[in-house]
A and B are shown apart, each in its own frame.
Chain A
Amino acid sequence: MASVLIIGHLWAVIGRPLEFATQGPFGASPSMTRFRDPVRGYSQFAYLDHGYAFFAPEPGPSHLIRATLTQPTGTDATASSPSPVEPLVRNYPDLNDQWPRLLYHRHFMLAEFLNDIHHPPGEPPQEIAQNPVAIREWIQARRRYETVRDSILNRLQTAYPQATVAIDRLEHRQPGLPEFMEDNVPLDAPQLYFVLPDAPPPLPLEPLPPAPIDDSPAAESPAAESTDSETVREPEPATLGRSEAARDARPLVRPIIPRLPLRAPIEVTP
């Protein structure tokens, strides 16, 4: 009996890493998904459902949340004086605000989580127009992102009730070795920060002539200020209704249709 329990537990321990490691653009390997199914609930409840992809597959860039807090008159959201000032901009995480380090890291993970679950707005692409499962996943992924984003906005709105709150996702990439050693670009150089747009930029209508290759640091200038900052708003009833309809059973085998955008599986790890 003890051996059976041990084997069942080990099954749960190994099930999620196997399923997670076999994720591809079309979802997880069907065989690994089936393998994990009997112990899925147990591994989720016992918090054994991890992929263990620490700093992998690449130690990539960091992601932050930039909150812009603007008073209706343009005054500082936290200032007691009415003198007009620039909108207050706060980044999460921020070592000056969150101490001890573990508290900072919790905020860091929140920013990474928001970035990981980001899904662009708009109608599903034509490639999946004929597939109801893929369409449903598309809609759900966007709603998941919007729900978490709105929750973060609500938190900021509660903290700064007089201000208009907007947030952006920032990406902070590391300098390459030549940039750092030869060009003396510091780790926190402004040109290493990018505002990530909510929607992908529109595709050009006509093919552009090939651009000359320029691998100088100047070629990677910071993105223009995003115009699609995400502000507080009430949830739309129609959107909530769609959520009810979208609740379903998971298909055993995913259709061979790309889930756009193609991206790495979600798991926030250090």
Chain B
Amino acid sequence: MSAILPDHDAARNATGNAPLNGMGNAITAVRGATTAWAASWITAWDQFWFTPQRPHTLALIRIATGLMLLYSQAVLALRLGDFLGDEAWVNNRTIAALNRGEFGAPSAARSYLWLISSPVLLWGHHLLTMAASACLAIGFMTRFTAPLAWFLQLMLIHRLTGVLFGLDQITTMLAMYLMIAPSGAVFSVDAWLRKRLAGPIARDARLAWLFPDDSPSVMAAIATRLAQIHLCVIYLFGGLWKARGTTWWDGTAMWFAAANYEYQSLNLTWLGRFPVVFSALTHLTVFWEVFYCALVWPKLTRPLVLATAVAVHGGIALFLGMMTFGSMMIVANAIFLSPDWIARLTDRGADQRSADSSLTR
């Protein structure tokens, strides 16, 4: 993040070199300083957003997001009629009325799914949605299947008003950022195909676009930065909302979360015997969420912030019955892992496997 800070030294030099004789020179000096300051911001902006990055982090997140989308859609398929169609809990007519503005302002969250009543069509569409998610997970024709998976997920989400929660927010958000980057360039079927089709790809630019290599790219950088900023917004407002509540201040919120019977998946009420512990955890949660957007950028504090994320979301996954949501939040936090570090890690692993196999041969 330090890269986006303005270059104040440059601004000072601009003023220091200007002889301040008279009003005209003063204006010139101020203009020069302002220009230098603005230029430093623009440079920092460009560095932050457009410095090419490798796609390895995004590729790992792509696998997890695709699998979670697939799982979530498979669970819906267990009782598809409960969620889609004219006999659903929230039926087509009701969804259309909610979103078209019959009870307030209309929403742009439109979906053609609320026009479909035929179970055969709904099943066909749902299978297509699952297939797109599976393709996203394995990285098959990712240039096409990633946008398709995101769009079909959006249509599903806009039809499922009333049964959605944080999991849907996170998976849809990640799917959106994954589709704008070459997230299928590595750890994917596309990467395997690229090796197999090396000759044709070298001759055909369209094939090279379809099966991108894992070199640094601007689109990977933009997708990574957007996801990082989005995650910071989520935590900031999550923390600010908690700061409005009494129990997050008096330290009892963690108890009331643990004592919620409908959320509970593993018994956490033993925390009640340790008020100092659960109140400290409560305060730590608020502090961490509010300051996440600042502390996740410096290299010094980033590991601590990410470790806390794993602990908090791991706790939600294990104890509060939301394995899916907790897991995806941890996956989302992985966006702050350096792609170069992941690349080195996986390359080392591949080298090791290669060495092992040559030894056993």
Contacts and interface: CB of A to CB of B under 8 A. Distances in A.
Interface of A: 2-3, 6, 9-10, 13-14, 17, 20-21, 40-42, 44-62, 64, 93, 100-110, 113-114, 137, 140-141, 143-144, 147-148, 150-152, 154-155, 158, 172, 174-175, 177, 180-181, 187-188, 243, 246-247, 250, 268-270
Interface string B55-89: 00000000000000001100110110011000111
Nearest to B163: A106
Contact of B226 (A9, A17, A177): A9
B109 A45 contact: yes
A163 to B, nearest CB: 16
B241 A6 contact: no
Given A45-B110, A62-B260, A147-B98, 18 more contacts: A13-B229, A17-B236, A58-B246, A62-B262, A101-B322, A105-B322, A110-B90, A113-B161, A113-B163, A144-B102, A148-B90, A151-B88, A155-B87, A172-B262, A181-B272, A243-B97, A246-B103, A270-B322
Contacts of A6: 49, 222, 226
B247 interface: yes
Interface stretch (B23-31, B115-123, B164-172, B184-192): B164-172
Interface stretch (B127-135, B194-202, B263-271): B263-271
Interface residues of B, number: 85
B163 A109 contact: yes
Point out which of A42, A50, A108 has the most chain B C-beta atoms below 10 A from its C-beta: A50
Given A6-B49, A270-B165, A102 B72 contact: yes
Given A56-B245, A144-B98, A155-B88, A187 B264 contact: yes
A130 to B, nearest CB: 21
A188 B261 CA distance: 7
Nearest to A92: B89
B248 A64 contact: no
Given A140-B104, A177-B255, A188-B261, A105 B237 contact: no
Nearest to B262: A62
> 3 tightest CB-CB pairs across the interface, nearest first?
A57-B245, A144-B103, A56-B241
Contacts of B230: 13
